[in-house]
Amino acid sequence: MKTKLKKLAFLALIMLPVFSFAQEEEEIQTLFAKKPVKISGFGGPVVNVTSMKNDFALVHGFSGAALFNQKFYAGFYVRELENEFSRHFITGNSYDFYFNHRGLLLGYIFMPKNVLHFNIGLQAGKGELEYEDPLTYNWYYDDFVLILQPSIEAEINLAKFMRIGVGVNFRFLNDINEIPGFSNGDFSDIGGQVSLKFGWFK
């Protein structure tokens, strides 16, 4: 029940900027617009605080993207679990987990010229999940885990070349089938993120 409430609350947050978008655009947009597309780009580090299997998890990484008309962006991302956390099973054994994922990054920025504005994004990629048995030193891993992670951020223009963003995301993990005793829901959860973006914000 709590997981469903988390998902509903997060999806509600994702929809909030849509109302701002309706106010922002006054002209009718067409597919074959006369105005040329302005292309720039950005990149920077991201830190994400979340949980996995009910344990604290700190995930860090990097995002880079091409920016179209200062609103649409498309690029790539990489994320990796920073801390090694353990789970204790009925046997009393402890297992250290490792997790990383990478893939495609898509998003839209609302009112980018405002000092404070919002963006919504989506990460879609492939991940790897593994753990080590400290007693036998055997490794167990699933090298093909599917990831979907929508997010919403409040961004501040610190300078013409730098922005900082603070937001929330929800990580949907799917296709865990090589790790016995674990399900997709064990590694799917809400998280908070802080990002720095350096680039060409004209």
pLDDT per residue as tens digits for the range 133-176: 767 777 777 778 899 999 999 999 999 899 999 999 999 988 88
pLDDT of residue 19: 45
Average pLDDT on 59-85 reads 91
pLDDT of residue 176: 81
Q: Are 164 and 155 in contact (CB under 8 A)?
A: yes
The whole-angstrom distance between residue 108's C-alpha and the CA centroid of its chain comes to 14
- Total Cβ atoms within 10 A of residue 171: 24
Angle at 17 between CA 15 and CA 19, to 5 degrees: 90
- Total Cβ atoms within 10 A of residue 12: 9
- Residue 121 CB-density burial (10 A; 0-12 exposed, 13-18 middle, 19+ buried): buried
Q: Provide CATH code, domain 2-24+39-199.
A: 2.40.160.20
**Is the pTM of the predicted complex or chain greater than 0.85?**
no
Q: Are 122 and 76 in contact (CB under 8 A)?
A: no
User: Which residues fall within 8 angstroms of residue 103, CB to CB, at 6 or more apart?
Assistant: 76, 77, 123, 124, 125, 126, 147
The pLDDT confidence band at residue 90, using thresholds 50, 70 and 90, is very low
* pLDDT tens profile 13-27: 555 554 444 445 555
The pLDDT confidence band at residue 51, using thresholds 50, 70 and 90, is confident
Identify the DSSP state of 33.
-
